[in-house]
């Protein structure tokens, strides 16, 4: 009996080792020391996702961590507005200090109305209307104001209420672009800067699919038979895209071994879990790297090298990578399942 028990134990160890190898056990990247807990297990939503609920859902629920301090610091006068070119977004409007200005898709321009109050206004401080002036490239007649629910006057551009983002800490940053799929940097005419950017892209939109079979309006080669492909991005290198050419991302607070999913609820409204794919309809990636994981709600999610992967609602056109390095937690995925380089994002 002792001999049989020893054999069984050895076999069990071998099985575990094989399973570990199948999930990329050789890669030390965010594996061995990962102690990710599900949301609610001693973590706030802000701790779990690296941002406040407003950042995740786009409903204006605001930042739960540091919102008062950051929001207060960015509630000052607008000063002279200017136009600044930000490579990842395009030509954006900035305030007198060079901070990017934003619009909220849940607001309305006709008539102007702000729907960002309370905690939302801590994460997205409204820009006061008082001293705002236009410089070259901005039509002065587009500037206006709207009375907020607290009686203060907020700057408007082409009717859209104007905001700063608490997580932009330096001139020229646009960390708020695409957050929740509802926040966008303003172009000089009040439209979304990313929509006016030449080629319609954001950071790293220069992808060559190399698939043949015709081209869509964005210049991407079509191959409707593929559910998972590798795209060559001019800044990030080779990254994975789904059947609609949407960039796939992984989340550092998830875990590959053991496989754990922590992006649920409001998070999953912004970062959509990628659906499983037919391995026969994948190209450019080793089949053994493709898998699935069961989410807390019982649905199946695509995994790459055992990492759950997602699409970002802030990517509104094929090839966009606006989710790369978001909050320092979300990263485009390479064809080997690794994170695309941060320095290029």
* Comparison of pLDDT for 306 and 58, the residue scoring more: 306
Pairing of the two strands 90-94 and 82-86: antiparallel
pLDDT at residue number 42: 31
* Comparison of pLDDT for 163 and 69, the residue scoring more: 163
SS3 151: coil
CA-to-CA separations, 150 to 49, 130, 259, 297, in angstroms, rounded? 30, 16, 47, 40
pLDDT at residue number 144: 94
Mean pLDDT value of segment 152-174: 93
Closest CA to 43 of 263, 325, 249: 263
Structure tokens at 315: 């990517």
Residues 166-207 have pLDDT tens digits of 999 888 899 999 898 899 999 999 999 988 774 443 333 344
Mean pLDDT value of segment 58-65: 31
CA distance 261 to 299: 11
When pLDDT is cut at 50, 70 and 90, the band that residue 211 belongs to is very low
User: Per-residue pLDDT for 2 more than 80?
Assistant: no
Percentage of the chain lying above the pLDDT 90 cut? 51
Residues 248-265 have pLDDT tens digits of 999 999 999 899 999 999
* Comparison of pLDDT for 18 and 52, the residue scoring more: 18
pLDDT at residue number 23: 61
SS3 277: coil
* Comparison of pLDDT for 71 and 4, the residue scoring more: 4
pTM: 0.44
* Alpha helices per DSSP H over 125-265: 193-196
Mean pLDDT value of segment 11-31: 43
């Amino acid at each position: 009996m002792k001999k049989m028990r020893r054999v069984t134990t050895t076999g069990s160890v071998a099985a575990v080792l094989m399973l570990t190898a199948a999930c990329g056990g050789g890669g030390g990247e965010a594996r061995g020391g990962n102690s990710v807990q599900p949301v609610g297990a001693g973590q706030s939503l802000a701790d779990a996702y690296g941002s406040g609920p407003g950042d995740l859902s786009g409903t204006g629920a605001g930042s739960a961590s540091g919102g008062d301090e950051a929001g207060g610091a960015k509630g000052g006068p607008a000063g002279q507005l200017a136009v600044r070119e930000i490579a990842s977004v395009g030509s954006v409007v900035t305030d007198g200090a060079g901070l990017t200005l934003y619009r909220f898709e849940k607001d309305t321009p006709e008539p102007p109305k702000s729907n960002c109050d309370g905690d939302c206004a801590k994460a997205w401080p409204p820009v006061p209307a008082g001293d705002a002036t236009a410089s070259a490239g901005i039509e002065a007649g587009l500037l206006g104001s709207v009375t907020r629910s607290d009686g203060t006057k907020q700057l408007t551009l082409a009717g859209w209420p104007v905001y700063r983002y608490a997580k932009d800490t330096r001139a020229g940053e646009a960390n708020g672009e695409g957050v929740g799929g509802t926040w966008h940097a303003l172009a000089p005419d009040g439209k979304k800067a990313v929509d006016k950017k030449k080629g319609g892209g954001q950071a790293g939109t220069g992808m060559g699919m190399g698939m043949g079979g015709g081209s869509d309006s964005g210049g991407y080669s079509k191959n409707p038979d593929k559910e998972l492909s590798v795209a060559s991005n001019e800044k990030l290198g080779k990254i994975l895209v789904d059947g609609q050419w949407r960039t796939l991302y992984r989340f550092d607070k998830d875990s590959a071994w053991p496989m754990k999913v922590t992006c649920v609820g409001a998070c999953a409204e912004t970062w959509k879990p990628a659906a499983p794919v037919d391995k026969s309809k994948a190209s450019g990636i080793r089949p053994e790297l493709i898998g699935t994981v069961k989410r807390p709600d019982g649905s199946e999610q695509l995994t790459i090298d055992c990492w759950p992967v997602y699409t970002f609602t802030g990517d509104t056109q094929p090839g966009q990578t606006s989710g790369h390095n978001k909050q320092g937690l979300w990263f485009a995925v390479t064809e080997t399942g690794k994170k695309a380089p941060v320095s290029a994002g």
